[in-house]
Copies of this chain bind each other. A is one copy, B any other.
């Protein structure tokens, strides 16, 4: 495995980073929904925790039937079994989605770093 990989992500509906960066601990996608659009299905996960970060615009998620408003700067953790769907406001929404195996993190920062 190389010591690093890098790519530039242009605007677009969805860019998936796992394969292009050779990720081994996560899938990360950069997503844009235009004004009034939605992800066209409800989904949940078997093992993966999802972490969403809203980069621009806004909208809302429906999580197990509960509407949760989202705006730029918001970060959201969604448990694997939670049923989720995402909707853009009239300004559209740009967000990242991080998939990781729930419970997989051992140490981090001070307990994993070597300085």
Residues of A at the B interface (CB closer than 8 Å) are 1-10, 16-18, 21-28, 30, 41-49, 51, 53, 55, 61, 63-64, 68, 71, 73-79, 81-82, 96, 98-109, 112-115
Question: What distance in Å separates the Cβ of A14 from its nearest Cβ neighbour in chain B?
Answer: 10
Given contacts A55-B55, A100-B100, contact A79 B4 (CB under 8 A): yes
* B79 and A3 contact, CB distance less than 8 A: yes
Task: Please indicate the chain B residues that have their CB under 8 angstroms from the CB of A16 in the complex.
Answer: 109
Task: Please indicate the chain B residues that have their CB under 8 angstroms from the CB of A49 in the complex.
Answer: 23-26
* B21 and A105 contact, CB distance less than 8 A: no
Task: Please indicate the chain B residues that have their CB under 8 angstroms from the CB of A115 in the complex.
Answer: 41-43
